[in-house]
Amino acid sequence: MPIYRLVYYSRNHVALDVLASELADILAKSRENNIRDEITGALMFNAGCFAQVLEGPLERVEAAFERIQQDERHGEVSLLSLEPIAGRSFPNWAMGFVGASAADVERYASFGAASGFDLSRFDGDELHQLLLELAIEEERAAA
Ligand SMILES: Cc1cc2nc3c(=O)[nH]c(=O)nc-3n(C[C@H](O)[C@H](O)[C@H](O)COP(=O)(O)O)c2cc1C
Protein backbone atom coordinates (compact mmCIF):
# COMPACT_ATOMS: atom_id res chain seq x y z
CA MET A 1 0.00 0.00 0.00
CA PRO A 2 1.51 3.40 -0.96
CA ILE A 3 2.50 5.60 1.96
CA TYR A 4 2.10 9.39 1.97
CA ARG A 5 3.69 12.08 4.09
CA LEU A 6 1.82 15.21 5.13
CA VAL A 7 3.55 18.19 6.76
CA TYR A 8 1.77 21.19 8.27
CA TYR A 9 2.27 23.90 10.81
CA SER A 10 -0.26 25.83 12.89
CA ARG A 11 -0.56 28.38 15.65
CA ASN A 12 -1.31 27.41 19.24
CA HIS A 13 -4.64 28.57 20.70
CA VAL A 14 -4.27 26.89 24.09
CA ALA A 15 -3.62 29.11 27.12
CA LEU A 16 -0.19 28.50 28.61
CA ASP A 17 -1.50 27.52 32.05
CA VAL A 18 -3.32 24.49 30.62
CA LEU A 19 -0.89 23.77 27.79
CA ALA A 20 0.86 20.81 29.46
CA SER A 21 -2.38 18.95 30.15
CA GLU A 22 -3.80 19.75 26.69
CA LEU A 23 -0.60 18.52 25.05
CA ALA A 24 -0.84 15.29 27.04
CA ASP A 25 -4.45 14.92 25.90
CA ILE A 26 -3.58 15.61 22.23
CA LEU A 27 -0.76 13.04 22.30
CA ALA A 28 -2.83 10.34 24.02
CA LYS A 29 -5.70 10.73 21.56
CA SER A 30 -3.34 10.96 18.59
CA ARG A 31 -1.49 7.78 19.54
CA GLU A 32 -4.72 5.87 20.05
CA ASN A 33 -6.14 6.97 16.67
CA ASN A 34 -2.86 6.67 14.78
CA ILE A 35 -2.23 3.08 15.89
CA ARG A 36 -5.71 2.24 14.59
CA ASP A 37 -5.07 4.12 11.33
CA GLU A 38 -1.49 2.89 10.71
CA ILE A 39 -0.26 6.47 10.92
CA THR A 40 3.18 7.35 12.28
CA GLY A 41 4.83 10.73 12.74
CA ALA A 42 6.09 13.46 15.01
CA LEU A 43 4.69 16.59 16.61
CA MET A 44 6.71 19.59 17.64
CA PHE A 45 5.64 22.55 19.74
CA ASN A 46 7.70 25.70 19.82
CA ALA A 47 7.16 29.41 20.36
CA GLY A 48 3.41 29.25 19.94
CA CYS A 49 3.47 27.03 16.85
CA PHE A 50 2.93 23.36 16.15
CA ALA A 51 4.61 21.47 13.34
CA GLN A 52 3.57 17.93 12.53
CA VAL A 53 4.51 15.14 10.15
CA LEU A 54 1.89 12.45 9.47
CA GLU A 55 2.76 9.39 7.38
CA GLY A 56 0.46 6.56 6.36
CA PRO A 57 -2.12 5.46 3.78
CA LEU A 58 -3.45 8.52 1.90
CA GLU A 59 -7.11 8.24 2.90
CA ARG A 60 -6.30 7.85 6.56
CA VAL A 61 -3.77 10.66 6.61
CA GLU A 62 -6.34 12.91 4.92
CA ALA A 63 -9.05 11.89 7.39
CA ALA A 64 -6.74 12.60 10.34
CA PHE A 65 -5.80 15.98 8.86
CA GLU A 66 -9.51 16.84 8.47
CA ARG A 67 -10.03 16.19 12.19
CA ILE A 68 -6.87 18.06 13.09
CA GLN A 69 -8.01 21.12 11.10
CA GLN A 70 -11.32 21.16 13.00
CA ASP A 71 -9.54 21.16 16.37
CA GLU A 72 -9.92 24.54 18.09
CA ARG A 73 -6.78 24.07 20.15
CA HIS A 74 -4.86 25.51 17.20
CA GLY A 75 -5.55 27.66 14.13
CA GLU A 76 -4.14 28.93 10.81
CA VAL A 77 -3.42 25.29 9.97
CA SER A 78 -1.17 25.50 6.90
CA LEU A 79 -0.54 22.47 4.71
CA LEU A 80 3.08 22.52 3.51
CA SER A 81 3.35 19.23 1.66
CA LEU A 82 1.54 15.98 0.90
CA GLU A 83 3.41 13.47 -1.23
CA PRO A 84 4.06 9.75 -1.68
CA ILE A 85 7.20 8.48 0.05
CA ALA A 86 9.42 5.42 -0.36
CA GLY A 87 9.45 4.65 3.37
CA ARG A 88 8.41 6.03 6.74
CA SER A 89 10.74 8.41 8.62
CA PHE A 90 9.10 7.63 12.00
CA PRO A 91 8.29 3.91 11.76
CA ASN A 92 8.34 3.39 15.54
CA TRP A 93 6.33 6.42 16.59
CA ALA A 94 2.51 6.50 16.59
CA MET A 95 3.15 10.18 17.37
CA GLY A 96 6.47 11.29 18.79
CA PHE A 97 6.71 14.57 20.64
CA VAL A 98 9.96 16.38 19.87
CA GLY A 99 11.69 19.66 20.43
CA ALA A 100 10.84 20.34 24.05
CA SER A 101 14.27 19.82 25.65
CA ALA A 102 16.77 22.58 26.46
CA ALA A 103 19.29 21.07 24.04
CA ASP A 104 16.71 21.31 21.27
CA VAL A 105 16.17 25.00 21.90
CA GLU A 106 19.92 25.51 21.35
CA ARG A 107 19.68 23.56 18.13
CA TYR A 108 17.11 25.98 16.72
CA ALA A 109 19.84 28.60 16.62
CA SER A 110 21.58 26.48 13.97
CA PHE A 111 18.46 26.85 11.84
CA GLY A 112 18.91 30.60 11.93
CA ALA A 113 16.45 31.58 14.63
CA ALA A 114 18.03 33.18 17.66
CA SER A 115 14.72 34.12 19.25
CA GLY A 116 11.06 33.79 18.39
CA PHE A 117 11.76 30.72 16.29
CA ASP A 118 9.03 30.90 13.68
CA LEU A 119 7.98 27.68 12.01
CA SER A 120 6.14 29.55 9.27
CA ARG A 121 9.50 30.28 7.60
CA PHE A 122 10.04 26.61 6.82
CA ASP A 123 8.85 24.59 3.85
CA GLY A 124 7.60 21.01 4.14
CA ASP A 125 10.96 19.36 3.41
CA GLU A 126 12.79 21.56 5.91
CA LEU A 127 10.27 20.89 8.67
CA HIS A 128 10.35 17.16 7.95
CA GLN A 129 14.14 17.26 8.20
CA LEU A 130 14.06 19.24 11.47
CA LEU A 131 11.57 16.87 13.13
CA LEU A 132 13.55 13.88 11.90
CA GLU A 133 16.80 15.21 13.39
CA LEU A 134 15.07 15.94 16.70
CA ALA A 135 13.53 12.44 16.73
CA ILE A 136 16.87 10.74 16.04
CA GLU A 137 18.47 12.65 18.91
CA GLU A 138 15.65 11.78 21.25
CA GLU A 139 15.84 8.09 20.38
CA ARG A 140 19.59 8.22 20.98
CA ALA A 141 19.13 9.93 24.35
CA ALA A 142 16.56 7.32 25.38
CA ALA A 143 18.75 4.36 24.34
C1 LIG B 1 -1.55 19.93 17.24
C2 LIG B 1 -2.50 18.77 17.15
C3 LIG B 1 -2.07 17.56 16.63
C4 LIG B 1 -2.94 16.47 16.52
N5 LIG B 1 -2.49 15.30 15.98
C6 LIG B 1 -3.35 14.27 15.81
C7 LIG B 1 -2.94 13.04 15.20
O8 LIG B 1 -1.78 12.84 14.84
N9 LIG B 1 -3.88 12.05 15.05
C10 LIG B 1 -5.15 12.19 15.47
O11 LIG B 1 -5.95 11.27 15.30
N12 LIG B 1 -5.57 13.33 16.06
C13 LIG B 1 -4.70 14.36 16.24
N14 LIG B 1 -5.12 15.51 16.88
C15 LIG B 1 -6.43 15.49 17.53
C16 LIG B 1 -7.52 15.76 16.56
O17 LIG B 1 -7.55 17.15 16.31
C18 LIG B 1 -8.87 15.33 17.15
O19 LIG B 1 -9.06 15.88 18.41
C20 LIG B 1 -8.96 13.86 17.28
O21 LIG B 1 -8.50 13.21 16.12
C22 LIG B 1 -10.42 13.49 17.53
O23 LIG B 1 -10.48 12.11 17.64
P24 LIG B 1 -11.88 11.38 17.85
O25 LIG B 1 -12.77 11.76 16.70
O26 LIG B 1 -11.49 9.95 17.85
O27 LIG B 1 -12.40 11.86 19.18
C28 LIG B 1 -4.26 16.60 16.98
C29 LIG B 1 -4.69 17.83 17.49
C30 LIG B 1 -3.83 18.91 17.59
C31 LIG B 1 -4.31 20.21 18.15
Protein residue with its CA nearest to atom 12 in ligand 1: 30
pLDDT in the model for residue 114: 43
Beta bridge partners of 40: 55
**Nearest-10 Cα torsion for 10, 14, 15, 16:** -70
Task: Please give the helix or strand (H or E) that residue 21 lies within, else none.
Answer: helix 19-37
Protein residues whose CB sits closer than 6 Å to any atom of ligand 1: 26, 29-30, 33-34, 43, 50, 52, 54, 64, 67-68, 71, 73-74, 95
> Tens of pLDDT along 6-33?
999 999 999 888 988 999 999 999 999 9
> Tens of pLDDT along 79-121?
999 999 999 999 999 999 987 765 665 665 555 444 445 677 7
Protein residue with its CA nearest to atom 8 in ligand 1: 30
